[in-house]
Amino acid sequence: MIEKTGPEPIYIQAKNWIRGKIASGEWKAKEKLPSESDLAATLGISRGTIKQAIKQLITEGILVQIHGKGTFVVGEQMEYPLAERLISIAETMIESHKDFTTRLLGLETSPADQTVSRFLELDPSGQVYHLKRLRFIEDTPVVFLENFLPKQLFPGFEQNNFEEKTLFSIIEDRYKLRISWGKRSFLGKGADEKIAEMLQIDKGTPITFLEQTIYTEDNVPIEYSKVWLRNDQIKLTSILKRTQ
Is the domain of 62 the same as that of 89? no
Query: pTM of this prediction?
Result: 0.68
Last residue of a domain, one of 42, 73, 104: 73
Given a contact cutoff of 8 angstroms between Cβ atoms, the answer to whether 180 and 169 are in contact is no
Last residue of a domain, one of 73, 108, 127: 73
Is the domain of 68 the same as that of 83? no
pLDDT at site 31: 87
Q: How many domains does the chain have?
A: 2
> Whole-angstrom Cα distance, residue 29 to residue 61?
12
Residue 243 included in any domain: no
Residue 116 included in any domain: yes
pLDDT at site 7: 83
**Strands, sheet with 140-150, edge to edge from the N-terminal-most edge strand:** 100-111, 127-137, 140-150, 221-230, 206-215, 181-190
Is the domain of 230 the same as that of 166? yes
Distant-in-sequence, close-in-space partners of 239: CB < 8 Å, separation ≥ 6: 81, 84
The CATH number linked to 61 is 1.10.10.10
Which of 3, 56, 55, 64 shows the shortest CA–CA distance to 29?
64
Report CA-CA distances (Å) from 20 to 52, 62, 231.
17, 12, 21
Is the domain of 52 the same as that of 83? no
Report CA-CA distances (Å) from 108 to 33, 54, 131, 144.
42, 40, 7, 17
Find how far residue 191's CA is from the centre of its chain. 10
Is the domain of 20 the same as that of 120? no
Residue 4 included in any domain: no
Residue 122 included in any domain: yes
DSSP state of 171: I
Is the domain of 57 the same as that of 151? no
DSSP state of 172: I
Is the domain of 38 the same as that of 147? no
Is the domain of 98 the same as that of 219? yes
> Whole-angstrom Cα distance, residue 224 to residue 211?
7
Is the domain of 56 the same as that of 159? no
Is the domain of 22 the same as that of 122? no
Residue 94 included in any domain: yes
pLDDT at site 19: 87
Instruction: Give me the tens of pLDDT residue by residue for the chain, a chain 244 residues long.
Output: 788 877 888 888 899 899 888 888 888 887 889 999 999 999 998 999 999 999 888 877 788 887 778 888 876 665 555 555 566 666 666 666 667 789 999 999 999 999 999 999 998 778 999 999 999 988 889 899 999 999 999 999 999 999 999 899 999 999 999 999 988 888 888 999 999 999 988 888 888 898 999 999 999 999 999 999 888 877 666 665 666 6
The alpha helices in 24-162, defined as continuous H runs, are 36-43, 47-59, 89-95, 114-120
Is the domain of 200 the same as that of 88? yes
Residue 99 included in any domain: yes
pLDDT at site 120: 95
Is the domain of 185 the same as that of 103? yes
Q: Up-side HSE of residue 42: CA atoms within 13 Å toward CB?
A: 11
DSSP state of 39: H
The CATH number linked to 191 is 3.40.1410.10
Which of 83, 103, 79 shows the shortest CA–CA distance to 91?
79
Q: Which residues pair with 145 in a beta bridge?
A: 133, 227
Residue 3 included in any domain: no
Last residue of a domain, one of 49, 73, 97: 73
Q: Which domain holds residue 221?
A: 78-237
Which of 125, 147, 144 shows the shortest CA–CA distance to 200?
144
